[in-house]
Amino acid sequence: MQKKESHNTICSYCGVGCGITVSKDIRGTLSVHGTEDYPVNKGMLCSKGKNLNYVAQDISDRILYPKMRWSRNHSLQKTTWDIAFKRAAAVFKSIIDKHGPDSVGFYVSGQCLTEEYYLANKLTKGFIGTNNIDTNSRLCMSSAVVGYKKTLGEDAVPISYDDIELADCFLIAGANPAWCHPILFRRLEKHKEDNPKVKVLVVDPRKTQTSALADQHLQILPGTDVILFNAIARWLIERKKIDTSFIRKYTSNFEACKQSAFQLTLKQAAYQCGITTEEIKKAAKLISNSKRFISMWTMGLNQSVIGVDKNVALLNISLLTGQLGKPGCGPFSLTGQPNAMGGREVGGMANLLAAHRDLGNSQHRKEVEDFWGGKPIKKEAGLTASEMFNALESGKLKAIWIICTNPVVSLPNARKVEAALEKANFVVVQDISHKSETTKYADLLLPAAGWLEKEGTMTNSERRISYLPKVIDPPAEAMPDVEILWRFAQEMGYKGFDYNSASEVYDEYCLMTKGTNIDISGLSYERLRKEGSFQWPVPHKLHKGTPRLFQNHDYYTSNRKAHFNAPKKLYNQSEQTNTEYPLILNTGRVRDQWHTRTKTGKVKRLLTHIPIPYLEMNKVDAFLHGLKEDDVVVVSSRRGSVRVKVKINFDIREKVVFLPMHWGKILKNDFSRANNITNDLVDPISKEPDFKYCAVKVEKYEKP
Ligand code: SF4
């Protein structure tokens, strides 16, 4: 009889990247617990991670066989993999022959493993000959990518989770890690419990479980982050609380930062932010008194029409105070998805190339072309997430291949996304679950292997690369995504896709990083299995990884200095409220749900926290609207509406309402889908959507 076996892997939810030990008993039943000696979580797991065994074992919603339909008038019918690949290749070839390579696109996900991300990019940019490959990570952290590149020269998160226990002051902006990065937050919380002098500042228009820990909560008006960060910078400069030696030796462009910071007085800034000058001064003092200061942020800054400006304004504070390249300090963007970072590394966006190479750099393009031996790579960026669906709607894009993501629920202005998919000539959906609302639009539906059913690697928020083993077989004919991609490439007749394993794909990618700033040529599956996780770079086989970057202050910019950037816009550029749409809608996550609930929605105990979507509203606004707790309301914008129950409190600012983004179509309709009402605006550089701000009205629902 087989013994109980255990495997160490990584949680498939958020970018914290906790280690999970999966045990399989003699009947094949799975159980999970936090890996005791894994450096990220040290045995802890949050509610989502603790229930992953149920998700992995429940195959009731799984796509089991390839399915295909010959026209939109027909339903999907079971087919074979051979026919599915032949059909996909025939349609893609015919569209490319007729309309050119830019008429097709791939939309992938921060939940893809690194090997899958890498191969999808090689296929698209190197062989099909289009840069039309983008990812749902565009919706999470593309503004942070640009912010890092502008400031540090590359998309390089400088610090580690271990720096948390060394820091004495934290500024958490536009993030609720208590719910969205729970284990990271637990480390911070424990550090503060053990060291009462540690200060935490939280910037958020809402009171949250994160702000409950704060020494100071700056409850600013939505969209005023740049003004706040600039005001803090101004106070630091005026009071000479800046590190002049650091600025002189290791930075450039300080004057531009100063000029930007001095555009508004503290009084003007406080008015714009909806807080007092005393609050700004107090925050600036706490930061200036700190010896080791960490800023943390996520969607509240990134998902904005001025997301890049918010990022650079915050990064300027680390540079002003010289809090970079030393233990216990630095700017730390928290990634939302488990492998958003891995995707960034392999160039998994329409404007990136593998190993942090740039599309616009001819030398970089040549290096990649020579390595892959495919077609010349175009220097122009391809279509980004929202642009891809706009192009489908306009007819410029004819075919789209969607991998491991549910754009019908997760993209802004979702009705437009549905219309775009209706109009597409050919839609391939490669996923694990029928529950994804996007599967409805598939002409070809491909069953992918899920978590534990395939091997590969992921990188978490602190640049930590971990190996995920295959523990169980995929159900029926589900296939690892990496194999689906190489078999499609082979069917297209492309050379260089004759892999036999994910390990071969990984070895190729590691080799490609050689000599770059994210060199991981010292890694292999064998080493990751034997020695555990590593933080990049890992440039040779004896190298132990790099927990902290820039300790020698040699930044990746052209002048090797960290670069101050003046935000282009101080003021928010989102759509305006007016008398018809007088409230500002903010969207976000709740503790026990994940993205569009295709996984967490299957676990009953995760529904005990918050079972249905809701609208959070200030008591004053509720009174003015004649609403009481649990009344059903219709929330409408210029684009659409949702119908949910209202939750009333003083936690949210007046004239601001909040709606969770997870729900799609409960109640057999789409009345709860937050993205019915969000808008099409994106940051002009990062192209990240403006999910955190749109003008809405709220009315009590009256049954017809
Ligand atoms: Fe998984 Fe994130 Fe929870 Fe850790 S914190 S168990 S990675 S969801």
CA gap 313, 232 in Å, rounded: 10
Q: Are 580 and 636 in contact (CB under 8 A)?
A: no
Task: Work out the pLDDT band at 665, boundaries 50, 70, 90.
Answer: low
In terms of Cβ atoms closer than 10 Å to its own Cβ (0-12, 13-18, 19+), residue 630 is exposed
Q: Which of 11, 44, 111, 140 to mutate to test the pocket of ligand 1 (most atoms within 8 A of CB)?
A: 11
CA gap 575, 552 in Å, rounded: 44
* 15 ligand 1 Cβ < 6 A: no
Give the mean pLDDT of 88-108.
Answer: 98
Give the mean pLDDT of 378-385.
Answer: 97
* 13 ligand 1 Cβ < 6 A: yes
CA gap 586, 622 in Å, rounded: 16
Encoding tokens for residue 503?
A: 């390990």
Chain segment 498-507, per-residue pLDDT in tens: 999 999 999 9
**CATH second-level architecture of 142-334?**
3-Layer(aba) Sandwich (3.40)
- Residue 634: helix, strand or coil by DSSP? strand
Number of helices followed by number of strands (H, E) in the chain: 23, 28
* 348 ligand 1 Cβ < 6 A: no
Nearest to 7 by CA among 35, 43, 47: 35
Integer CA distances (angstroms), 248 to 242, 244, 462, 561, in order: 11, 6, 28, 10
- Please report, to the nearest 10 degrees, the dihedral formed by the alpha carbons of residues 182, 184, 185, 190 taken in order: 120
Q: How close is the Cα of 678 to the center of ligand 1, in Å? A: 27
Encoding tokens for residue 704?
A: 């017809």
* Alpha helix (H) residue ranges in 153-181: 177-180
pLDDT given for residue 113 in this prediction? 97
The pLDDT > 90 percentage for the chain reads 92
Give the mean pLDDT of 574-592.
Answer: 96
Q: Are 639 and 415 in contact (CB under 8 A)?
A: yes
Q: Are 382 and 350 in contact (CB under 8 A)?
A: yes
Atom number of ligand 1 nearest to Cα 181: 5
pLDDT of 467 higher than 80: yes
CA gap 189, 203 in Å, rounded: 17
Q: Are 599 and 405 in contact (CB under 8 A)?
A: no
Q: Are 413 and 675 in contact (CB under 8 A)?
A: yes
pLDDT of 666 higher than 60: no
Task: Work out the pLDDT band at 453, boundaries 50, 70, 90.
Answer: very high
DSSP H or E segment with residue 512: helix 502-512
Give every CB contact of residue 145 below 8 A, 6+ residues apart in sequence.
155, 344, 349, 686
pLDDT given for residue 361 in this prediction? 95
Q: Which of 47, 51, 181 to mutate to test the pocket of ligand 1 (most atoms within 8 A of CB)?
A: 181
pLDDT given for residue 702 in this prediction? 86
* 48 ligand 1 Cβ < 6 A: yes
Bond prior to 537 in cis (omega within 30° of 0): yes
Q: Are 696 and 639 in contact (CB under 8 A)?
A: no
Give the mean pLDDT of 257-285.
Answer: 98
Bridging pattern class, strands 444-447 and 426-431: parallel
Query: Letter for the amino acid at 497?
Result: F
pLDDT of 93 higher than 70: yes
Atom number of ligand 1 nearest to Cα 13: 8
CATH class of 67-139+338-512: alpha beta
Nearest to 422 by CA among 401, 443, 447, 445: 443
pLDDT given for residue 670 in this prediction? 57
Chain segment 4-51, per-residue pLDDT in tens: 899 999 999 999 999 999 999 988 899 999 999 999 999 999 999 999
Q: Which of 45, 337, 462 to mutate to test the pocket of ligand 1 (most atoms within 8 A of CB)?
A: 45
Q: Are 299 and 336 in contact (CB under 8 A)?
A: yes
Q: How close is the Cα of 592 to the center of ligand 1, in Å? A: 10
**Assign residue 578 a region: left if phi > 0, alpha if psi is -120 to 50, beta otherwise?**
beta
Query: Letter for the amino acid at 203?
Result: V
Give the mean pLDDT of 363-387.
Answer: 97
pLDDT of 649 higher than 90: yes
The pLDDT > 70 percentage for the chain reads 99
The 10 Å Cβ neighbour count of residue 164 is: 22
Give the mean pLDDT of 585-601.
Answer: 90
Angle 365-147-271 from CA coordinates, rounded to 5°: 155
* 180 ligand 1 Cβ < 6 A: no
Q: How close is the Cα of 183 to the center of ligand 1, in Å? A: 6
Task: Work out the pLDDT band at 2, boundaries 50, 70, 90.
Answer: low
CA gap 120, 373 in Å, rounded: 16
**For the structural domain made of 5-57, what CATH number should be given?**
3.30.200.210
Atom number of ligand 1 nearest to Cα 46: 3
Tell the residue number behind the tokens 């670069």, with chain if given. 563
CA gap 308, 687 in Å, rounded: 10
- Residue 299: helix, strand or coil by DSSP? helix
Give the mean pLDDT of 74-82.
Answer: 97
Phi, psi for residue 461 in degrees, rounded to 5: -60, -25
Q: At what angle do helices 481-491 and 502-512 cross, to 10 degrees?
A: 80
The mean pLDDT of the chain is 96
Q: How close is the Cα of 46 to the center of ligand 1, in Å? A: 6
pLDDT given for residue 602 in this prediction? 87
Residue 401, beta-bridge partner list: 106, 428
Nearest to 433 by CA among 63, 45, 75: 63
* 640 ligand 1 Cβ < 6 A: no
pLDDT of 444 higher than 90: yes
pLDDT given for residue 1 in this prediction? 42
In the 8-state DSSP scheme, what is residue 449?
Answer: P
Atom number of ligand 1 nearest to Cα 184: 5
Q: 3-state DSSP: the chain helix, strand, coil percent, rounded to 5?
A: 35, 20, 45
Asked if the interface predicted TM-score (ipTM) of this complex is over 0.95, the answer is yes
Domain regions of the chain by residue span: 5-57, 67-139+338-512, 142-334, 583-700
CATH pick for 583-700 out of 2.30.30.100, 3.50.50.60, 3.40.1190.10, 2.40.40.20: 2.40.40.20
pLDDT given for residue 185 in this prediction? 97
Q: How close is the Cα of 431 to the center of ligand 1, in Å? A: 21
pLDDT of 671 higher than 80: no
- Residue 543: helix, strand or coil by DSSP? coil
pLDDT of 313 higher than 70: yes
In terms of Cβ atoms closer than 10 Å to its own Cβ (0-12, 13-18, 19+), residue 704 is exposed
Q: Are 337 and 175 in contact (CB under 8 A)?
A: no
CA gap 700, 632 in Å, rounded: 6
Encoding tokens for residue 370?
A: 């020579």
Give every CB contact of residue 501 below 8 A, 6+ residues apart in sequence.
none
* Alpha helix (H) residue ranges in 105-220: 114-121, 142-152, 177-180, 182-194
Q: Are 464 and 162 in contact (CB under 8 A)?
A: no
pLDDT given for residue 292 in this prediction? 98
**Of 670 and 500, the one with more pLDDT:** 500
Q: Which of 42, 183, 606 to mutate to test the pocket of ligand 1 (most atoms within 8 A of CB)?
A: 183
Q: How close is the Cα of 340 to the center of ligand 1, in Å? A: 14
Q: How close is the Cα of 557 to the center of ligand 1, in Å? A: 33
Nearest to 322 by CA among 570, 567, 561, 566: 561
Chain segment 188-240, per-residue pLDDT in tens: 999 999 999 999 999 999 999 999 999 999 999 999 999 999 999 999 999 99
DSSP H or E segment with residue 33: strand 30-34
pLDDT given for residue 669 in this prediction? 56
Encoding tokens for residue 126?
A: 């190197």
Atom number of ligand 1 nearest to Cα 45: 6
